[in-house]
Structure 1
Amino acid sequence: KISCNEAAGLMFALVIKLLLTLQPPLSQTAGQRSQCVKAGTEEKLVLHLLHSFSMEDSSFISIFLSTYRSFTTTQRVLDILMDRLGNPPGESSSPTRQAFHKAVCTVFSTWLSEYPEDFRSLGDPSRLLRLAPLLPPDVAGADLRGRLLRIAEELSEKLLCLADPASSLLQTPPDPARFDATSILGFPSSVIAEQLTKIETELFLKLVPYHCLGSLWSQRDKKGREGVCWSVRATVRQFNRLANAVTASCLWQTELKSQQRSRLLEKWISVAEACRARKNFSSLYAIVSALQSNPIHRLRKTWQETDRSAVKRYEELAYIFSEKDNYSQSRELLKEEGTSKSANVDTKTNNRRHTVSNAQGTVPYLGIFLTDLTMLDAAVKDRLENGFINFDKRRREFEVLAKIRLLQSSCRNSTFRADESFLHWYHSVPTLTEEESYRLSNQIEAHGEPSPGRALHPTVVITECPDALAVTSSGVDPDGIFDFPSPVNHLLSKLAKHMKSPSVSCLDVDSSPPPTDPTPSTLITPTVVKSHRRSVSCGNAPSNTSPGAGPDMRIVKIRMDLQDGNLYRSILVTSNDKTPTVISSALEKHNQDPREASKYELIQLLPDGKELTIPATGNVFYAMTSASTDFLLRRRGGNTPLGSPSLNETSATFPRIKAKGRRLVRTLF
């Protein structure tokens, strides 16, 4: 028996329950974004490749395949998928089994088309031989099976080869005695720019976008990772080669008069203009950075003899790469001209007209994307506090990678005419070290102050792909792909305000708070779209009493004497931070207990294998020397100390133009 009030309460509860069951699915009320996975375990994220369509998470496959190398390996992904393929759901002819087979074919077809190098880099064909029989028995599965078996056959053939002679081909070194610097004056600027654009475009089309991920690029010089990011390294080498060609051509023949040398400066400025007309921003910046370098910048008499209109155009070209507002000028140009057929060049300030043979795509200055991805990697945590992989971070990284892919697609129809005579000259340029360049510069003009008005703002120079991913299939809006005020770039712009240079690469930002309610699920999907406030956590918080009143800041790289001892993490150090604070931040970045800080000591790794132990009560910012930004966390009394990393390893980097002298330095982050 129940009372009237109890009966009324039960009736009300039944009505509410009935209304809830009549609500449309969540994906219809909250939009597609509400069904996007934001975090999960490694295994569940991999398996979600096969279930993303049922959750209407159509972009998951593209994002996962672009970024999974940040948190797992190809071998691990294949092992998890093969375990699942060995136990498919439903009966053999049931709709569930058919949907499963369709998902499997979609995943592997996309993977093989966009990232075939993942399978070719396995080395051992055994996984592919085990995977092939597990694919669906239909026509699509048979096609995939054939492609996998062909790759397995290639891997088997490579195992039989003792060495690959093609990988060790070396170019004949240039002969300095035969190099004629003034020969560059005999080539039309348009021809030089076309040949440079040809080289840059070919390298850009070979670029593998995920090689730009901050988690990969920042680790490129660690022992055992020499072959990582090879496609970015190739772009780096071309950038440095061109900058060296500009420097050498202007300095090599010291007997030239200042008027003759000024003609060389004017020539390279004209070439830079022609590169700008061809939307070749990579070569443009290499030329500008070389002209800004100390050995050329200090040639007062030469610059005085240079045509004033040419110098003005040079300064306008250099302004494109101003650091102001996180390279806002360069970003705006990419937004305007990224997929357009021609460059938007102001003919009022540029009196020379350059004819482009065919419609050409845009070759960007890759350093902007490397900066964004490295900052993003350092700013957003890889895992949530519950240990789940932060897949929302991978979505943000994918936004940047999608811009690179779209630019690559704009370059695919570019055609060029080869000019063997210029290429012969270009490859004959001798390589000058910084010391040699400065010595030649002093032979040309004795040490003296540069002429006023010539100085430009210092600039940080931070400078690959299989078939480009179609924008429509990537879940990316082609009209908004270059909308740089996106959440990612908004985050980076906010972070840049805390930094003294765009090369600063670490602020630890929580982009989304941990779930308020514990859940047994290993995949987290947001139920509503929220804009989370991003908080900066970098040790002691800087004072914000007035603009620019915060403490000095610097980024250091810290590795640990642990299983991942070769893995560096970037830590922001301010002038307020004491040693325990920095150690705690480093431990947290390495997923260790920050409360164990007292059990570790902080050691700065100096050149020539030397070490500097930072005092336990010292101020790290003022205690460390400026010789190195590499640090080691060593357990006190530990029996397995790590040696300092090899400082003589060759590393592919872009030059940084320092504030004083603007000399080229081989460093990045």
Structure 2
Amino acid sequence: MKTTWYCPLDLSTVSEEEEDGLIYTVVVKQQHGTPPGPMAPRSRSRCVKAGTEEKLVLHLLHAFCMGDSSFVSIFLSTYRSFTTTERVLAILADRLENPPGENKRTQTRQAFNKAVCTVFSMWLTEYPEDFRSLGEPSCLLRLAPLLPTDPAGVELKARVLRVAEELSERQLLSDPHRDRGLSVSSTGGDRTQFDAALILGFPASVIAEQLTKIETELFLQLVPYHCVGSLWSQRDKKGREGQCWSVRETVRQFNRLANAVSASCLWRTDLRSQQRARLVEKWICVAEACRARKNFSSLYAIVSALQSNPLHRLRRTWQETDREAVKRYEELSSIFSERDNYSQSRELLKEEGSSKFANLDSKSSAQGTVPYLGIFLTDLTMLDTAVKDKLENGYINFDKRRREFEVLAQIRLLQSSCKNCTFTSDEAFLLWYHGVPTLSEEESYRLSNQIEAPCEPSPARAYPTVIVTQCPNTNSALSNPFEPDGIFDFPSPVNQLLSKLARHMKSPSVSCLDVDSSPPVPADQNPSALTPSTPVKSHRRSVSCGNNPTSTSQGSGPDMRIIRIRMDLHDGNLYRSILVTNNDKTPSVIRSALEKHNQDTTEVSKYELIQLLPEGKELTIPATGNVFYAMTSSSVDFLLRRRKGSPPSGSPSISTETSATFPRAKTKARRLVRTLF
């Protein structure tokens, strides 16, 4: 009897080489189809792993001839994380002043000129905003005469000079900071003219079509590199107010739609429960229509608003809401469950998210996919937290940029599916939509309490169950969020990294919490009276893994709780969510809160942590105590107050226009990362 053994062989060898300021990853593979052996023919490829700033820039002109064809695309997508456009142009201009080869006809010079034209043509075509955002045209005026003189170089020179001319005109107009991109007003309309009931007169398909039109235009305006974690996470710092403007516009639209849903349902406090239920049903139908159009951004905004406390607590309204509508609403809510790092949302993007899946609707117009951008922001922020920017020798870690590029490529792929979408405008709806007044969180709660007082008894009919995301157990493995199949057929390092990080986190979403803008419970009200018997999920601005931190059967579990901390400053109603475990002492919690509020973390000793209790009472947590065990279960609201005798610090730099509708990675994740990498 003959037995055949199948033995998997490692036919590749990976090593590193350092050469002239660059570190290369070298892969030697045995050529496919050749018999194994020491004399078997092998292929050798090199790609840049790390390098100095200057050498990485200059490698743009050598990458193609070295076979590292992806380097240029990755560099142009991510270089803003470690350098500036002006610096890149200066380094390239210095190189162009001393080109290789003795004369223009040598093969070396021709290959060099071809690389120069390819790089700048790709840069001008894919990232024109880099050049238009330059403060003045001197960089371009220096570059233009240095470009090659062949036909491709002449055309490139004309494009550069046109941009330089635009910059000069802008300087003459003295408007260097003109608004960029689409502008979505956030002030709301005339409150005296707003009629919430008009929304019932528009078919759900028309509303969804108009919302998809708005979202698609914003998504096509999105600059993918604005989502990179090192840029997005620093957007609120002083001097960076205009940074990531394209993401901010998407956030504003998300918040505007969520506000429209809330305002239309809460504005008329004199409506009967049956009438208000019709408004809720209308928005559920709109959410379904958005789902049919693969508009996940608007879908999530509507679901998020319906899950917010001011609407969720209206028991009589939900009692009158059609049971089938509530069931459909729960199914839509489950799409955005944070369980396993938004695994269901990711799966839908795999199935429907690329241009090859773009279908045709009944009017034969192309239909792309508009994703919930927060998922990608979370991934990029996790990557930025988990992977170091530089190696121990000071070289820039370009491998990190390759991993970020994998996520950015997914965004660009989704954008390509939306490029051929066509829409018609419905002026009547747009007039109503842009006329919706903006409600603050306090106003929403006040209107909600006027509709149904907090102490009203529960009706006989059960309140509808709203999906509350559950936190995976520590030992439960998180499935790979980007399996290498379908439309996201990318290399795996970034996927393995995200999975590894998320597997070691009790709640991937907890590390991404941001501003909790729900108002504190009034001192004269019982906190339990504000919530129904089932767990309440707040608006996505303050979404957490379960909103009942004191319960051991929901959310965080018995050894961790989510608390809300505000500072005793001018923005005293601005809460930040903090994860507290049974190992956290008071100084570490104060430090996390200071980081969340963009305050100086070296001043931990100058603050005291106070738990805000019902009836206006306060509980001061001991300076070295265990916060998890020292706090009471009656409240999750805390105050960070300066100790007497400590001078006040500067106000935090926080931008309220980009609220925490989208996730922001928590700096506490860094402590976890240090144990993993």
Q: TM-score, normalised by structure 1?
A: 0.71
Q: Percent of pairs identical after alignment?
A: 70
What residue is the counterpart of 1:78 in the other structure? 89
What residue is the counterpart of 2:75 in the other structure? 64
In the alignment, structure 1 residue 100 sits paired with structure 2 residue 112: yes
Of 648, 652, 665, the match for 1:646: 652
Superposition pairs for residues 519-530 of structure 1, below 5 Å?
A: none
CA contact (8 A) 1:555 1:629 kept: no
Cα separation, 2, equivalents of 1:44 and 1:667: 32
Paired AA for residue 449 in structure 2: N
In the alignment, structure 1 residue 494 sits paired with structure 2 residue 506: no
Superposition pairs for residues 160-199 of structure 1, below 5 Å?
A: 160-163=172-175, 167=179, 174-199=189-214
Cα separation, 1, equivalents of 2:323 and 2:564: 42
Of 421, 432, 435, the match for 2:428: 421
What residue is the counterpart of 1:523 in the other structure? none
Cα separation, 1, equivalents of 2:413 and 2:269: 45
Cα separation, 2, equivalents of 1:231 and 1:454: 37
Rate the CA distance shift 1:577–1:129 in 2: closer, same or farther, 3 A: same
In the alignment, structure 1 residue 389 sits paired with structure 2 residue 396: yes
Rate the CA distance shift 1:164–1:78 in 2: closer, same or farther, 3 A: closer
Instruction: Kindly provide the CA deviation profile for residues 191-225 of structure 1, in whole angstroms up to 9, marking residues without a partner as x.
Output: 00000000000000000000000100001111000
SS class of match (1:432): coil
Of 422, 441, 445, the match for 1:438: 445
What residue is the counterpart of 1:154 in the other structure? 166
Rate the CA distance shift 1:446–1:119 in 2: closer, same or farther, 3 A: same
In the alignment, structure 1 residue 142 sits paired with structure 2 residue 154: yes
Cα separation, 2, equivalents of 1:453 and 1:151: 60
Shift of residue 82 of structure 1?
A: 1.3
Cα separation, 1, equivalents of 2:579 and 2:43: 36
Cα separation, 2, equivalents of 1:617 and 1:219: 31
Paired AA for residue 274 in structure 2: Q
Paired AA for residue 153 in structure 1: E
Rate the CA distance shift 1:629–1:420 in 2: closer, same or farther, 3 A: farther
CA contact (8 A) 1:105 1:144 kept: yes
Rate the CA distance shift 1:127–1:287 in 2: closer, same or farther, 3 A: same
CA contact (8 A) 2:273 2:316 kept: yes
What residue is the counterpart of 2:221 in the other structure? 206
What residue is the counterpart of 1:89 in the other structure? 100
Paired AA for residue 314 in structure 2: L
Cα separation, 2, equivalents of 1:72 and 1:360: 37
Rate the CA distance shift 1:107–1:186 in 2: closer, same or farther, 3 A: same
Which is bigger in relative contact order (C-alpha 8 A, separation at least 6)? 1
Rate the CA distance shift 1:571–1:192 in 2: closer, same or farther, 3 A: closer
CA contact (8 A) 1:335 1:484 kept: no
Shift of residue 574 of structure 1?
A: 6.2
CA contact (8 A) 1:655 1:668 kept: no
Shift of residue 32 of structure 1?
A: 8.6
Rate the CA distance shift 1:551–1:264 in 2: closer, same or farther, 3 A: closer
Rate the CA distance shift 1:444–1:484 in 2: closer, same or farther, 3 A: farther
Instruction: Kindly provide the CA deviation profile for residues 556-608 of structure 1, in whole angstroms up to 9, marking residues without a partner as x.
Output: 99xxxxxxxxxxxx9999654679999999xxxxxxxxxxxxx966468899x
Cα separation, 2, equivalents of 1:35 and 1:446: 68
Paired AA for residue 456 in structure 1: V
In the alignment, structure 1 residue 47 sits paired with structure 2 residue 62: no
Shift of residue 410 of structure 1?
A: 0.4
What residue is the counterpart of 1:121 in the other structure? 133
Paired AA for residue 35 in structure 1: R
Of 230, 241, 254, the match for 1:215: 230
CA contact (8 A) 1:604 1:628 kept: no
Instruction: Kindly provide the CA deviation profile for residues 355-404 of structure 1, in whole angstroms up to 9, marking residues without a partner as x.
Output: 56522100000000001111111111111122211111111100000010
Structure 2: unaligned runs, 5 residues or longer: 1-25, 32-41, 471-481, 514-555, 566-576, 593-600, 610-620, 667-677
Rate the CA distance shift 1:32–1:57 in 2: closer, same or farther, 3 A: farther
CA contact (8 A) 1:50 1:107 kept: yes
Paired AA for residue 96 in structure 1: T
Rate the CA distance shift 1:216–1:239 in 2: closer, same or farther, 3 A: same
SS class of match (2:48): coil
CA contact (8 A) 1:341 1:360 kept: no
Shift of residue 308 of structure 1?
A: 0.6
Question: Structure 1 residues 132-141 or 56-65, which shifts more?
Answer: 132-141
Of 443, 455, 471, the match for 2:465: 455
In the alignment, structure 1 residue 262 sits paired with structure 2 residue 252: no
Shift of residue 489 of structure 1?
A: 3.1
Question: Structure 1 residues 376-385 or 365-374, which shifts more?
Answer: 376-385
Rate the CA distance shift 1:259–1:180 in 2: closer, same or farther, 3 A: same
CA contact (8 A) 1:61 1:107 kept: yes
In the alignment, structure 1 residue 246 sits paired with structure 2 residue 261: yes
SS class of match (1:431): coil
What residue is the counterpart of 1:280 in the other structure? 295
In the alignment, structure 1 residue 358 sits paired with structure 2 residue 365: yes
Superposition pairs for residues 532-547 of structure 1, below 5 Å?
A: none
In the alignment, structure 1 residue 229 sits paired with structure 2 residue 229: no
What residue is the counterpart of 1:514 in the other structure? none
Paired AA for residue 327 in structure 1: Y
Superposition pairs for residues 317-336 of structure 1, below 5 Å?
A: 317-336=332-351
Rate the CA distance shift 1:490–1:603 in 2: closer, same or farther, 3 A: farther
Paired AA for residue 126 in structure 2: E
Cα separation, 1, equivalents of 2:184 and 2:344: 39
Rate the CA distance shift 1:485–1:153 in 2: closer, same or farther, 3 A: closer
CA contact (8 A) 1:190 1:355 kept: no
Cα separation, 2, equivalents of 1:260 and 1:74: 56
CA contact (8 A) 1:280 1:364 kept: yes
What residue is the counterpart of 1:21 in the other structure? none
Cα separation, 2, equivalents of 1:622 and 1:644: 32
Rate the CA distance shift 1:445–1:628 in 2: closer, same or farther, 3 A: closer
In the alignment, structure 1 residue 271 sits paired with structure 2 residue 278: no
Cα separation, 1, equivalents of 2:487 and 2:44: 17
Paired AA for residue 361 in structure 1: G
RMSD across aligned C-alpha pairs, in angstroms? 4.2
Shift of residue 147 of structure 1?
A: 0.7
Rate the CA distance shift 1:323–1:414 in 2: closer, same or farther, 3 A: same
In the alignment, structure 1 residue 373 sits paired with structure 2 residue 385: no
SS class of match (1:35): strand
In the alignment, structure 1 residue 109 sits paired with structure 2 residue 116: no
Paired AA for residue 146 in structure 2: L
CA contact (8 A) 1:653 1:668 kept: no
Cα separation, 1, equivalents of 2:491 and 2:67: 27
CA contact (8 A) 2:339 2:469 kept: no
Cα separation, 2, equivalents of 1:160 and 1:153: 11
CA contact (8 A) 1:579 1:602 kept: no
Cα separation, 1, equivalents of 2:44 and 2:232: 30
Cα separation, 1, equivalents of 2:425 and 2:153: 43
